[in-house]
Structure 1
Amino acid sequence: MPNLLEYLREVKLKLVSSSCPKSLHIVMGNEACDLDSAVSSLVYAFLLHSLKVNDQINIVPILNIPRDDYELKTEVTYWLNQHSISSDHLVFRDILDSAVTCSGSVALTLVDHNVLSVQYRHLEPNVISILDHHQLERPNPQSVKDGMVIEMVGSCCTLVAEAMLNKYPSLLDDTTASLLYGTIVLDTVNLNEAAKRVTEKDVEMCRQLEKHLNSPVTCSTDIFQKLTTAKSNTAHLTSDQLLRKDVKIAENKIRVGVASIPMLAKEFLERPDVLEDMQQHSEKQHYDVLVIMGITLVGDNVRRDIAICSKDFELSMKMSQHLSSAGGGTLQLDAGTSQVEGCLAFKQGNHAASRKVVLPFVRDWLSLHNN
């Protein structure tokens, strides 16, 4: 039985040696490609590959970013490198269009999201299954023929771990168990109830995964701190790179980038030449509105804030009004100050509300704004 690394090498070799695979089953995470999305796609594809009965089907995990953006995902590169997985073992979305175009048969499994980005909306008929921990946003969930698992746990890797334990527990060796474990710990702020992101299932899956590690975990805090440090290692990144590091896009006539950054948005807006940098970034990405979600973590103390920026200040105003009232004031936004033209800044009182909460509000605003 191959291990994960052998599987990834085999997949990459097949794609490189074959310009047009006959049958593809793609397992793809979301376009932010954070650690949860990346590890979920790799490990869940490995599980599906190990369970398949038809050897003619190539099950391929795809990291949903261009190859050139991989180094921006500092916590992803760190954690995969810790498990001897380099970029040479990975498949990025650069090859997706050509592979889909020439392949005779294409199936798509979505992990860590349940709605395709606008860029890949044409692949909607190819979606056959979904594994996700975000709010269901699909207008036609019954079209997913092999079913969906949608559960609001702290990490999609929790659902991947559960699937492996139920369907093929022997696949959980030190590598797969450690990849999943570290990701769950990071996503749930070290299983911290105060952060309001952890569920009983996250805790239980971590306990189960610990049994499969070669070295028993004496303290998950060490793993959490290393991953947090790697994620925050952004001193070498330009403003443009920071905004590309972890971003999701919502689009409905108006295009909105929702970027998560590992610092407070207030601090980001104080960077030299930030207005010019943001304007150039927004023009290059064709954004009408840029939403910057900032976060810092000191011990158990989580702080969040939001900046909403647009050359069309009316759009910034309307978006901020919607986010302030959305869900009955779920985000608990408190107006701050911004010296950057076109930007409105807010402290976020609800520290548990991550982008998983904010993005549906943004999509709601787009729907209302364009009706």
Structure 2
Amino acid sequence: MSMPVPAEHAGEVPVPSASRAPIELAAYLRWAKDQAMAHKVQCETGGTPTQPLTLIMGNEAGDLDSAASAIALSYVMNHDQAHFVRAYGVPRGVHVPVIQTPRRALSQRKENLHVYEYVQAPVASLLCVDELGDLASPAWGPDAQVSLGLVDHPQLRAAWGADRRIVAVVDHHEDEGLYRDAPLRIIRAPSTSPVGSAASLVAALAHEARRGAALETRVADLLLSAVVLDTKNLKMQEDGGKGTRVDAEAFAYLAQSTSIGRHEAGAASPDPALTAAWSRELQRIKSDVAHLDTHGLLERDLKEVRVVTKRRALQVGLASVPISLSAWLGGAYKGPAPMTEVAAAAQEHEWARWWASLGAFMEERRLDMAVVLSSYKTESKSRRDLALALRGSASELADVGQALEGTALGLKAWKGERRTENGKKERVAGVDAKGHVRSVPGIVGAVWRQGNTAANRKVVQPALLRALQRAL
């Protein structure tokens, strides 16, 4: 598989006995969690940790790609540790996967739970971020012999504090130029060398470390599930999908040992029709968010970033939501009720409630700006909406809006799916002519239809950050 060529270091490296992790996935996850919890207790009781620890974490959105990549990379780095120490210079010790989702919120991603059940990994065996306590504590810093590894995101969350040692970055978002001295640093930016799934990069590292030898079946199942979900069963870029050569190579490697798509255990390779069916099943489960309220929809796939402009510093949250704003406002996503007409009074009430919920979420998360990225289909056509709420003035909103409308996102006036009494499509409500949100003093907001439906969060986020730098 095609990977950057590591700087080899002569000599074999001894592996600490504690890092001889279980082979079977469920046992491995319990073991890894126990290692981190033992470290935490040791620090809390005044002890001095003697075993180096590296926490491998996905992004805070906690999607399957992040979770699978964190688990699998930690697994490979433990079981093939000598390779990573020798080839990349990563520190020896125990590598522990961290799911950056609070345990209470795991149910927001039913597709993840479905895959955990398939690979026989009990949810209780996962180490969730809230189980670590204070992330900025010295217990998770270099003085306690702790390093951090990032997968599926290029920047450590502010909650982890400033004094942290980053030893691995494996990502497919835009390169923000951070952690240049990380021994293992592989970033495939969408603008230069796109890859559909971070799990494909982890699979490539596993292939490299094992010289092509197969992975444990359940680990392969986990990675393959992330790859087929993110790429819609390897729909390639030339066909309008996200799949790339790296994803195809990862799929081919994982196909050696996966149980997915096999009619029987002895089958030589997965049946393409069955892997396609698995991809569709995961897509269907992922799209079903009927169990979530507005808070859950906003939190389920949220990424936060801090932006410093000429005028101010902003904490920005970008929430990806797989339903239309019309379905969200009227609650149609919770059941089979059709979206037809909406009365003007009802429309104003729905928007007031929606803006108020968004404002409360911003207050809870201490966000200066919330951006909602809505993606959905109508009559087999892909659609995207973009809603923005800013803690600021109408003039700042106008400047940001003008900067955004000058990007390749193709923003235009929002029109919903429902009709009002006069037969026209619904428009944005709950704000005055200058964008002041009537139900949330101090918040201004705007909503657009996004013409560039190919621009997902990987594209919108850097465009937004550039627009903020220009406008503010």
TM-score by length of 2: 0.71
Q: 1:315 to 1:84 in 2, by over 3 A?
A: farther
3-state DSSP of counterpart to 1:15: helix
- Whether 2:249 is the aligned partner of 1:228: answer no
Amino acid at match of 1:285: R
Superposed, which structure 2 residues align to 1:171-250 within 5 Å? 172-193=215-236, 194-214=239-259, 215=262, 216-219=270-273, 220-250=275-305
* CA–CA separation in structure 1 for the residues paired with 2:377 and 2:218: 28
Contact kept? 1:47, 1:164, Cα under 8 Å:
yes
**Structure 1 match to 2:458:** 356
Choose from 92, 96, 99 the match for 2:128.
92
Looking at structure 2, the residues matched to 10 and 366 of structure 1 have their Cα atoms a distance apart, in angstroms, of 44
Cα offset for 1:300?
A: 6.8
Deviation at 1:221, TM superposition (A): 2.6
Change (3 A) 1:217 1:251: same
- CA drift at 1:170: 3.8
Please state how far the C-alpha of 1:258 moved relative to its aligned partner: 0.5
* Paired AA for residue 369 in structure 2: V
Shift of residue 52, structure 1, vs aligned partner? 2.0
- Contact 1:24-1:103 at 8 Å conserved across structures: no
Q: Distance in 1 between matches of 2:365 and 2:145?
A: 32
Q: Give the deviation of 1:146 after TM superposition.
A: 3.8
User: Is the contact between residue 323 and residue 375 of structure 2 (CA under 8 Å) also seen in structure 1?
Assistant: yes
Q: In the alignment, what sits opposite 2:374?
A: 294
- What's the secondary structure of 1:213's corresponding residue? coil
Partner of 1:309: 389
- Change in Cα spacing, 1:117 to 1:363, as seen in structure 2 (3 Å) is farther
Secondary structure in 2 matching 1:234: coil
Q: Does 2:160 align with 1:120? A: yes
Aligned length: 365
Greater per-residue helix proportion: 1
Deviation for aligned residue 1:243: 0.2
Q: Residue 42 of structure 1 aligns with which residue?
A: 71
**Equivalent-residue separation in structure 2 for 1:299 and 1:177 (angstroms):** 36
The more displaced of 50-59 and 271-280 is 50-59
Q: Would the alpha carbon gap of residues 50 and 299 (structure 1) be closer, same or farther in structure 2, given more than 3 Å must change?
A: farther
**2:46 alignment counterpart:** none
Q: 1:56 to 1:147 in 2, by over 3 A?
A: closer
Structure 2 unaligned runs (5+)? 1-21, 43-48, 86-90, 263-269, 308-312, 332-349, 415-426, 432-436, 438-444
TM-score scaled by length of structure 1: 0.89
Q: Distance in 2 between matches of 1:251 and 1:56?
A: 32
8 Å contact from structure 2 (residues 65, 152) kept in 1:
yes
Q: What whole-Å deviation, never above 9, does each CA across 1:3-48 have from its counterpart, x for those lacking one?
A: 3222111112233345135421111111111111111000011010
**In structure 1, distance between residues paired with 2:213 and 2:35:** 25
Q: Does 1:69 align with 2:105?
A: yes
What do the CA deviations read for 1:181-228 (whole angstroms, capped 9, x no partner)? 121111123322444422122123223322322322332331122111
Change (3 A) 1:213 1:101: closer
Task: Provide the residue aligned with 1:274 in structure 2.
Answer: 354
Residue 314 (structure 1) shift: 4.0
> How far apart, CA to CA, are the structure 1 residues paired with 2:287 and 2:60?
19
Partner of residue 410, structure 2:
332
* Counterpart AA for 1:184: V
- State the AA in 2 paired with 1:325: G
Which one of 132, 135, 138 corresponds to residue 171 of structure 2?
132
Aligned positions of 1:23-62 closer than 5 A:
23-53=52-82, 57-62=93-98
Q: How much does 1:230 deviate?
A: 1.7
CA pair 64-299 structure 1, distance change in 2 beyond 3 A: farther
Indicate how the Cα distance of structure 1 residues 297 and 197 shifts in structure 2: closer, same or farther if over 3 A, else same.
farther
Identity in percent: 27
Unmatched runs of 5 consecutive residues or more in structure 1: none
Larger mean Cα displacement after TM superposition, 186-195 or 308-317: 308-317
Answer with 1 or 2: which has the greater Rg.
2
Structure-2 change in CA distance of 1:357 and 1:351 (3 Å): same
Q: Does 1:262 align with 2:302?
A: no
User: Is 1:107 the equivalent of 2:167?
Assistant: no
Q: CA deviation at 1:102?
A: 9.3
Tell me the distance in 2 between the aligned counterparts of 1:39 and 1:4: 12
Deviates more, 1:252-261 or 1:216-225: 216-225
